[in-house]
Structure 1
Amino acid sequence: MSEKPFDIKHRCYHFSKEMVLFISSLKYERIHFSIMDQHLRSATSIGANVVEGKAGSSKKDFRNFYTIALKSANETKYWLCLIRDTNIVNVGKDKIVELITEADELSKIIASIVINLNM
């Protein structure tokens, strides 16, 4: 990813876009379709829940959507690590490591927001 946007909503959107482009560029066996499908769902869920949270009607609503976004970010890291470690796809490890790093950074940012909401 190039320069990262400051706003978490935009950063999540760019990550979702990167994941869609990444997965759509891959060739993989039919048996691995469910892994890729679930991976795409969790990756795009991060930003969707951040947007929902920002539009929430209460602090509790906001916190709940951000907690779901955090869970999705952690799940996305899981799927990326699984893809990296099983060689399901023939792609350079550098790209996967870059995506894992961004998912980890998003996870830390969202976790910090959730923790600060509870103070």
Structure 2
Amino acid sequence: MPDNKFDLEDRLFDFAGNVVLFCKELPSDMTGQYYGNQLLRSAGSSALNFGEAQGSNSNRDYINKASISLKELKESRVNLKILSKVDYGKQVIRAELLDELEQLIRIIATIIKNKKQN
């Protein structure tokens, strides 16, 4: 039986990589560059901060870094919604990114909540 281990870190890296590919296709005008750059930074930061959380020395440090990751995911969500409003980027890919993003937000928020209760 194959090992279908759930790896949140891999999902975050995949999300960040897919955002890179999405942003490469955005128009190179001022709007595309501004929101594309913001989205690149926040999506990448969410993955990087969650990676740091994995090496944390305490629950408090883990919660702090995971919370930063969550904040960056929420920023990515706003950027994608703005790009949706102005119809930038491929609609199908935007929808897929937003769906994955909402799932990641819920997962990390639940992890933080559970860590705080322990």
Moved beyond 6 Å, runs of 4+: none
Per-residue deviation at 1:5? 7.1
**CA–CA distance in structure 2, aligned partners of residues 27 and 5 of structure 1:** 37
- Uncovered stretches (5+) of structure 1, i.e. residues with no partner: none
Instruction: Give the Cα–Cα distance (whole angstroms) in 1 for the partners of residues 75 and 58 of structure 2.
Output: 26
Number of corresponding residues: 114
Percent identical among aligned pairs is 29
CA displacement 1:87-117 (0-9 Å, x = unmatched): 2x2x331211110111110000000000001
Check 1:12–1:35 CA distance in 2 against 1; reply closer, same or farther (3 A cut): same
Between the aligned partners of 1:47 and 1:32, the Cα distance in structure 2 is 22
Aligned equivalent of 1:80: 80
> Counterparts of 2:68 and 2:46 in 1: how far apart (Å)?
8
CA contact 1:5–1:11 (8 Å) conserved in 2: no
* Aligned residue type for 2:54: K
Structure 2: where are the runs of 5+ without partners?
none
Could you report, residue by residue, the CA deviation over 1:56-98 in whole angstroms, capped at 9, with x for unpaired residues?
12111110000011111111111000000112x2x33121111
State yes or no: 1:6 paired with 2:43: no
What is the TM-score when the length of structure 2 is the normalising length? 0.89
Q: Which residue of 2 aligns with 1:94?
A: 92
